[in-house]
């Protein structure tokens, strides 16, 4: 049974419940007056209010131990993870601060392509990573950019290699071209104000660059490699087509592809 299930299964108690419990624990006798206006009743009322506050705090514990939902414990997460740092500065919004905590927790120090894709997804970016491979006589073929892919000798198919690594591009060039890898960042990351997650005075709509992603990848990449970045705006283009389009439709229409946001 999880912590969340254990806490939520317990009945909620307010100050009145705790006051009744404290009164029931008092000894019997003239000295233990239960009159509403007495000093003892005032002390019990104050104790009951504090117990009710602790009861409510315990119910928030499952949210506070989760970096995706933490609020009061966010500063403790940042302190333990030594945030902000050179690549994960202090965010302006609650969601940015939570993303920084999550990115630091997932920073396992790996350098494989699957990790880079996971890192980009954690920060909310859709990316394509390209690796380059020198054109090799006897292996590479004209017109086939994947003919020189590194998995050829292992018997791995090009499609399988593309899924597990990146898209290798064979080019004419110096052998050192294999140390160059290129990250294509698709579109922009739009940040919406969300009820239950955002707080005042965050903006209703904001967007940011992939500066954090660039910093993390440049910092953790293999030292002998060259890493470059490219930003691409993605559009959906709709053309006027006989039989499909109607009178009044534009001959050419374009809009942002919202699947990238």
Is residue 233 predicted with pLDDT exceeding 60?
A: yes
Span 236-245, mean pLDDT? 62
Is this structure's pTM higher than 0.85? no
> Would you put residue 15 in left (φ > 0), alpha (ψ -120 to 50) or beta?
alpha
* Local confidence band at 183 (pLDDT 50, 70, 90 cut-offs): very high
Give the least confident one: 15-29, 84-98, 118-132, 235-249: 235-249
What phi, psi does 66 have (nearest 5°)? -100, 120
Is residue 259 predicted with pLDDT exceeding 50?
A: no
Q: What is the pLDDT of residues 154-176, one digit of tens each?
A: 455 555 555 555 555 556 667 88
Question: What pLDDT shows up at residue 260?
Answer: 40
Q: What is the pLDDT of residues 50-91, one digit of tens each?
A: 999 988 888 888 888 888 888 888 999 999 999 988 888 777
Question: What pLDDT shows up at residue 50?
Answer: 93
* Spatial distance between the Cα atoms of 164 and 143, rounded to a whole number of angstroms: 23
Give the least confident one: 70-74, 141-145, 185-189, 212-216: 141-145
Helices (H) and strands (E) in the chain, counts: 8, 8
Q: Name the DSSP class of 66.
A: S
- Delimit the domains of the chain by residue range: 3-64, 74-234
Question: What pLDDT shows up at residue 261?
Answer: 36
Q: Whole-number mean pLDDT of the chain?
A: 76
């Amino acid at each position: 049974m999880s912590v969340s299930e254990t806490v939520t299964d317990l009945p909620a108690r307010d100050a009145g419940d705790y006051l009744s419990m404290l009164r029931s624990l008092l000894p019997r006798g003239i000295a233990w007056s239960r009159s509403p206006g007495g000093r003892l009743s005032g002390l019990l009322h104050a104790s009951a209010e504090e117990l009710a506050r602790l009861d409510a705090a315990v119910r928030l514990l499952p949210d506070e131990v989760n970096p995706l939902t933490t609020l009061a414990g966010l500063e403790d997460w940042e302190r333990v993870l030594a945030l902000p740092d050179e690549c994960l500065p202090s965010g302006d919004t609650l969601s940015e601060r939570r993303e920084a905590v999550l990115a630091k927790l997932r920073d396992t120090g790996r350098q494989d392509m699957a990790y880079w894709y996971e890192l980009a997804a954690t920060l909310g970016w859709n990316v394509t990573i390209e690796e380059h491979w020198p054109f090799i006589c006897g292996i590479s073929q004209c017109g086939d950019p994947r003919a020189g892919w590194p998995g050829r000798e292992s018997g791995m198919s090009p499609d399988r290699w593309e899924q597990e690594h990146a898209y290798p591009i064979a080019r004419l060039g110096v052998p050192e071209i294999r140390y160059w890898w290129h990250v294509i960042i698709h579109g922009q990351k739009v940040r919406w104000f969300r009820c239950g997650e955002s707080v005042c005075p965050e903006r209703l709509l904001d967007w940011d660059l992939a500066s954090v992603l660039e910093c993390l990848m440049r910092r953790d990449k293999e030292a002998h490699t060259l890493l470059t970045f490219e930003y691409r705006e993605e559009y959906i283009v709709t053309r006027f087509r006989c039989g499909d389009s109607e009178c009044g439709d534009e001959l050419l229409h374009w809009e942002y592809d919202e699947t990238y946001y």
